[in-house]
Structure 1
Amino acid sequence: MQEFNPSSEHLQIRDSIIKAGKIALKWFKNDPENWEKEDGSLISKVDIEINNLLGRILKKSNPNFGWLSEESEDDKSRLEKEITFVVDPLDGTKAFLEGKKEFSISIALVKNGEPISGIVYSPSTKEIFESEKNKGSWKNKKRIHISKFNELSDCKMVAFKPMFSHPSWKNPWPKMSVENRNSVAYRMALVASGEFDAMMALNSKNDWDIAAGDLLITEAGGYVSQHNAKKLKYNNVSTKKPSVIGSNKKIYDEIIARVKDLKL
């Protein structure tokens, strides 16, 4: 039986993310204080509380690592670090505040632009998806693999459903089973575990949304990139990426053929 043998840094991330999950569950469906950020997205006191907890634990133990979090002021000294934490304290805040289980906590370690360790934790469903480079991907300590279903037609896609029926598509999309999850990190984890065949987001995402999920899908045997097939690199000056696509090789190629020339 295969076993996951994580590094000490990964174990520390796992321990801290479980503690963070307890904070999320304490406030889940308990109407925490929340407000809009300047960009119109929601933030709650839970996002801040989890961010502060993770920062205290991880930065204190790893003072030489950079820190990039959705809920922290961007410390550009991270650009000079070989290794950086990339953190989303609560991915899917809107779903969390609405009492839906589609939220997650996402942490990645990025080395020289590439994720080398990643965890996406769904506290409400008790799912821990984790990976380290060259060690495969795992869900609740059981090895997971990308789906082997190899046709875009009739595949299970996790994405924003109205996107596929937009009149601007020159080539209509085939029939697919499409569901959405509010957390992008969780969507990527579900693709890594084979519960969905593919995921696609054609709107701007940040490093903290996708770095851990990128590693999960890749180590599960899948492919991840921007819509133009450009490989994702993390911990740059700008944290924004125009899009993200993840699937097995066959479906990935079919999606890329349809979207590679889009101007996003």
Structure 2
Amino acid sequence: MLNEDFLKLLRTEVLEIVKNRVDSSSLKESLGISKKSDFSIVTLVDQEVSDLVHKKFSHLINEGSYHFYSEEDQQSFGFPSIILDPIDGTRELAMGLGECVVSLAVMETPSSGFAWLFNPFTGFEISSLSPYVNPVTFNTEKLFGYVSKGDKKRGLLDHVFASDELVISAKGSIAFKLGLLASGACDFVYSKTPKNIWDIAAGTLLCWERGMKLYQEGNEIVALEEVKISGELIWCREKDIYFLTNSLVKK
């Protein structure tokens, strides 16, 4: 089922949902923006993409004993599981920015599965089916990495931006950042604050497939077993973790 034809159809239907909702002079009205109980925002795109993916995988959910765990449908978590963030970067979506992705992981176990990330604005897409060649050499000068806009705004990364040993850029959507890392667009991604599993499952799988690892305060995480993962998370190559831990994690 998880083949190029399936992804092509899913991509087309996601694009149609987003196009129908953002093709308006008033994003707030067309997106149907509202606030959830935790004061985060949600849009009609989030709910419609969640419903779409649930329908696409209904046979696995109903017949294959797969759990469906989406940001908009948090009733069932376990493995095997379909883990979805319909739009990671909802705040950016609501502002009309292109820093967001659909983040889908179909996980047989907490450490293995299939991943798909798709940005309906830019067309950026990466999945477990995407062909690639491992780099022969890596960055030999300063390491470049993406960090959270929210972490930066709260002043949690002042020590990082003051560093002359790294090049740092703040970008929305952790899933989008992990997709960029997996595609070779940066050397690391750092999150100081906790992340929900729907935020990072697909991106982490893609990084694992391409030889990058996930660390928490310098200790490797090899399985995503909890619905929320504590912060001080670094995704990078093994060779860089000692330097990055000492540079990023403020003592």
Quickly say closer, same or farther: Cα 1:98–1:147, change in 2 above 3 A.
farther
Corresponding letter in the other structure for 2:85: D
User: In 2 relative to 1, CA 147–185 (structure 1 residues): closer, same or farther, beyond 3 Å?
Assistant: farther
Of 85, 91, 96, which residue of structure 2 is paired with 1:94? 91
* Count of residues in correspondence between the two structures: 236
Query: What is the one-letter code of the residue matched to 2:239?
Result: K
1:166-185 equivalences under 5 Å are: 166=159, 173-185=163-175
Whether 1:246 aligns to 2:235 is: yes
> Whose relative contact order is higher, 1 or 2, with alpha carbons under 8 Å and at least 6 apart?
1
2:186 aligns to what SS in structure 1? Answer: coil
TM-score (norm: length of structure 2): 0.82
Q: What is the deviation of 1:41? A: 1.2
Tell me the distance in 2 between the aligned counterparts of 1:16 and 1:89: 12
Matching residue of 1:27:
21
Distance 2:56 2:205 in 1: 23
1:144 deviation in Å?
5.4
Structure 1 counterpart of 2:82, one-letter code: F
Across the aligned residues of Structure 1 and Structure 2, the Cα RMSD in angstroms comes to 2.6
Distance 1:52 1:256, change over 3 A: same
TM-score (norm: length of structure 1): 0.79
Who is 1:4 aligned against?
A: none
**2:245 maps to 1:256:** yes
Unaligned runs of 5+ in 1: 1-7, 133-137
Residue number in structure 2 paired with 1:186: 176
Query: CA contact under 8 A between 2:213 and 2:220: conserved in structure 1?
Result: no
Structure 2 alignment gaps of length 5 or more: none
Give 1:43's aligned residue: 42
- Preserved contact between residue 190 and residue 234 of structure 2 (Cα < 8 Å): yes
- The answer to whether the Cα contact below 8 Å between 1:157 and 1:199 also exists between their aligned partners in 2 is yes
Any idea what the Cα deviations from partners look like across 1:143-177, whole Å, max 9, x if unmatched? 154794356x72221113734324xx8xx733432
Matching of residues 1-264 of structure 1 within 5 Å? 8-11=1-4, 12=6, 15-28=9-22, 30=24, 31=27, 32-63=31-62, 64=64, 65-75=66-76, 78-79=77-78, 81=79, 83-131=80-128, 138=130, 142-143=131-132, 145=134, 148-150=137-139, 154-160=142-148, 162=152, 163-166=156-159, 173-236=163-226, 239-243=227-231, 244-258=233-247
